[in-house]
Amino acid sequence: MTVKLFDSELKVMDVLWREGDSTAKHISDVLKEEVGWNMNTTYTLIKRCIKKSAIRRSEPNFMCHALIPKEEVQEAETNELINKIYDGSADKLFAALLGRKKLSPEQIAQLKQIVGELE
């Protein structure tokens, strides 16, 4: 992914990923409810995402469409985290995540399955 999105822009994208194509007004209403932003703040962030080619705008009603899939952003953000914090080592990130909380037997089984598929 060549587009770098900031946390505030990701909140806008998250509404589109959850709800599909939406009007700018709807995105604004959702983010007012979820994070307390006013309409001007949300519209400014939508315009930034349009400028970065993360969102396409169409008429009528300032309809917004996500141009980048969530999975692509998740992968890029994960890679950045691994490189920035864990010296490029995915296993260090994995160990840190596993050490944070007690996993249920079901979660452990699911992780073993994922690792098994990688082998």
CATH number at residue 57: 1.10.10.10
How large is the average pLDDT for residues 34-44?
A: 97
Give the rounded percent of residues in the chain with a pLDDT score beyond 90: 61
For residue 2, the model assigns a pLDDT of 64
In DSSP terms, which residues pair with 65 in a beta bridge? 56
How large is the average pLDDT for residues 77-88?
A: 89
Per the structure, the complete domain to which residue 105 belongs is given by 91-119
Residue with the larger pLDDT of the pair 104 and 6:
6
Cα→Cα distances 16→32, 50, 74, 104, 107, Å: 15, 13, 15, 32, 29
Residue with the larger pLDDT of the pair 119 and 88:
88
Rounded-to-integer distance, Cα 63 and Cα 22, Å: 6
Residue with the larger pLDDT of the pair 94 and 61:
61
| Same domain membership, residue 109 and residue 61 | no
